[in-house]
A = this chain, B = another copy of it.
Amino acid sequence: MSLPHAILTALLEKPSSGLELTRRFDRSIGYFWSATHQQIYRELGKLEAEGHIRALPSEQPARGQKKSYEVLPAGRAELARWTAASQDPKPHRDPLLLRLRAAAVVGTAGLEADLNRHLELHRRQLADYEKIEQRDFPPGKDAPHDRIRHLVLRAGIDLETFWTQWLTHALEEFAELPESGTT
């Protein structure tokens, strides 16, 4: 049940329409909670029905017409409740590690190319994050809420750093491996 709360957070940062939210999910928030526009519209409808957000009255609602939303006090309260509530960490799912484990059984043929591709993608993501860090968090002076945001960004940077290192190491190991199990 995280998507509605991701949307509430985004709307508190800045009231937006569905499409604006979609774009913001593609950038900042989507780095750790992605969503498509279909999901977002569906969820906006639910949140409005529950009285957590409302459409800004200025805009008239029609199909091709922009509709912006803002968070109501009930929505903010719900977000605060959810943030403070204890949640168990969900079990992890990583297809790449699963594939590696499968490769240990059926052979590593063909995997190396995709490992290289993933390495490149993680390097690019890392470079993006580091650019954001330089732009938004110049050393020295963070306001309290900026320090929290910086902390979140650091998690992203460190995770991408981990993956680039791990993939590099994995590829080195692959290079040493005998050409096992071509099928």
Contact = CB atoms under 8 A, between A and B. Distances in A.
Interface in A88-146: 89-111, 113-114, 117-118, 121-122, 144-146
Majority DSSP secondary structure for residues of A touching B: helix
B117 A99 contact: no
- Using C-beta atoms within 8 Å of the partner chain, give the interface range for chain A: 35 or more
28 contacts: A2-B93, A5-B98, A6-B98, A8-B102, A9-B102, A9-B105, A76-B106, A77-B183, A79-B105, A82-B99, A84-B109, A84-B110, A84-B111, A85-B114, A86-B117, A87-B114, A89-B121, A90-B95, A97-B152, A100-B152, A101-B148, A101-B152, A104-B145, A104-B149, A108-B148, A144-B177, A151-B169, A151-B173
Given A79-B106, A83-B107, 13 more contacts: A2-B95, A32-B97, A33-B93, A33-B94, A34-B92, A83-B111, A84-B109, A85-B110, A87-B114, A90-B95, A97-B152, A101-B148, A154-B169
